[in-house]
Structure 1
């Protein structure tokens, strides 16, 4: 598998990262291990998880299943030194039981989102130490603030993160689900205080542009893309790069999908889907593979797609995009639909 530099750190990471969110919950041990083994055998070495993965698929728990499974896999295989490991803190729920009303079969995200544990010094330290125990490792290669916390002074959060780096528990820092103005403030404070600045930004990012008027701290918009182009030291790790498969769906299924309805629906997005399908038909591949190839072809900002699957077949399909070369005409067709 090809590699790419993480920002301007000099660190080489796999061109496609593997997300471990479903591992240990909706993906059982055998299925998860088969995928991890396959990814590493292909030369992959960038694995992403979080301490909250995945309480919403395991009622009565507050997460940790993904990290625990990865820890067992590391212990059994000895692969820890072959993996650039990222995990995240701050997005556990203060009282996870309240996110499951009596008799509910699905978690109440309306309760959950305003009740994340946050990024205070005490919470971050407890979260990191618990992640290290579950993952059976002495350090995290890339540690993210999972959900930006405006209730805690940034100085407190950043000083605590800096201490993790000084102690050798964390090598690099990142941020996720954050607005551009906050990123700039974070960078300014790090520069002023000599603290290590984030080197990675993990956001939802795909070929489709967000619909006009969308207000989201989690999706790369035009302003954030411009900011990343001006700051190449900040790597973009794109979660949901194929938007849960909506590019490959029928028109009816896509139009009914919650991601489409909430974040992308509109005539421009329909034109973009049509362009992707045109290129896919010309190349004889799936639209989602074209999208991944397009992301991999971007130079400014450069993108590391994060594949969140636990099926070997889905991984194989996505990994095929690494060898899919989009020609100038294909890139022009896709670029014109986004302009």
Structure 2
């Protein structure tokens, strides 16, 4: 197996292989058996960082939220792999635990621990900012979870740069534990992260960035080159979102990806993830797989190194 360079999560003591397996599909488009197969193959291929949320997948008819965590917990118990895997989960979107009031954060963390069948969450995110709750209350609640040993490190997701900076100010003033990770929307065709202040605050606070929708809902894997591909057999539940990128700029990006992929004998998904992994502040892209057939292209991104010219070629195509 190719030696994989590991990365540290911010200023924490946690290190990972630089690819996060997204758990949003577990219990949704991947049933329990398929999810177990994907998790098995991910770990066998050198991955060890799994990202989920307590709200996954409450949007599915008949679901209540927590389905993904439950499947991951059952897999950890069945395989005995808890100490080999770094677990990230999030709070604020579970229908029973909405928002970031202190009592809710505490209760949601306990519920996540129970579903995951573990005594600690390695990385715990505030999933979405909660304007109804004073930020001081949320910051203190997360820090208390670290003091209690239930959480090892803190992350923030879907916050503005101003609110991330405010979190740090409050934490420093109050002597609370500081966040070490940031999870924004960022990929080769969604690049606001570079200019909206989030990358600047990540750099100034030494945050590890873990972008979600790293493959732009499948578009950057080259799966959708015509509008009709969104309705083809086997298209994902997010295919329509991917088709939105199919304009002149999107086609230029696919053309550049085709060139770089051909030069490396690699899949487009591998190149897209490698580009993202090699961007400033990025610790690991997050990508999900509904089946083991989708995993090799993701895992290949762990060791694929693009030249500066290739990084620039892709960036220019998506500018």
- Which residue does 2:6 correspond to in 1? 3
Question: In structure 2, what is the Cα distance between the partners aligned to 1:224 and 1:271?
Answer: 27
**TM-score, length basis structure 1:** 0.83
C-alpha distance in 2 between matches for 1:121 and 1:240 = 29
Q: Which residue of 2 aligns with 1:112?
A: none
Spell out, residue by residue over 1:115-148, the C-alpha distance to the aligned partner (whole angstroms, 9 max, x if none): x811001211111111111111111111111111
> Residue 226 of structure 2 aligns with which residue?
252
Gaps of 5+ in 1: 95-115, 211-218
Among 22, 26, 34, which residue is 2:25 paired with? 22
What is the CA-CA distance between 1:25 and the residue it aligns to? 3.3
Shift of 1:206: 0.8
Q: Residue 47 of structure 1 aligns to a residue in which SS?
A: strand
Counterparts of 2:254 and 2:283, CA distance in 1: 20
Q: Aligned-pair distance for 1:224?
A: 3.2
- By how many angstroms is 1:260 displaced? 5.1
Greater displacement, 148-157 / 62-71 = 62-71
Matched positions, count: 307
Equivalent of residue 123 in structure 2, options 142, 147, 151 = 142
Residue in 1 that maps onto 2:114 = 133
CA deviation after TM superposition for structure 1 residue 317, in Å: 1.6
Q: TM-score, normalised by structure 2?
A: 0.88
Unaligned regions of 5+ residues in structure 2, if any? 231-238
Report the counterpart of residue 172 of structure 1 in structure 2.
153
Q: Tell me how far 1:31 sits from its aligned partner.
A: 1.1
Q: How many Å apart are 1:266 and its aligned residue?
A: 5.9
Alignment match, 2:34: 31
- Deviation at 1:226? 3.7
Would the aligned equivalents of 1:3 and 1:13 in 2 still touch at CA under 8 Å? yes
Quote the residue 2:236 is aligned against.
none
In the alignment, which of 294, 300, 308 is matched to residue 320 of structure 1? Answer: 300
Instruction: Please point out which of 39, 45, 53 is paired with 1:42.
Output: 45
Secondary structure of 1:201's counterpart equals strand
Counterpart of 1:86 in 2: which secondary structure?
strand
Stretch of structure 1 that moved more, 271-280 or 130-139? 271-280
Q: Could you say which residue in structure 2 is the equivalent of 1:100? A: none
Taking the aligned partners of 1:324 and 1:164, their CA distance within structure 2 comes to 37
Distance 1:43 1:266, change over 3 A: closer
Q: Which residue of 2 aligns with 1:92?
A: 94
* Higher normalized contact order (CA 8 Å, seq sep 6+, divided by chain length): 2
Q: CA RMSD in A?
A: 2.3
Runs (4+) of structure 1 moved beyond 4 Å?
Answer: 254-258, 264-270
Q: Is 1:240 paired with 2:213?
A: yes
Q: Confirm or deny: 8 A CA contact 1:307 1:315 kept in the other structure.
A: no
Alignment of 1:1-339 (within 5 A): 1-57=4-60, 59-93=61-95, 117-210=98-191, 220-228=193-201, 230-231=203-204, 233-247=206-220, 248-253=222-227, 258-259=240-241, 267-298=248-279, 300-339=280-319
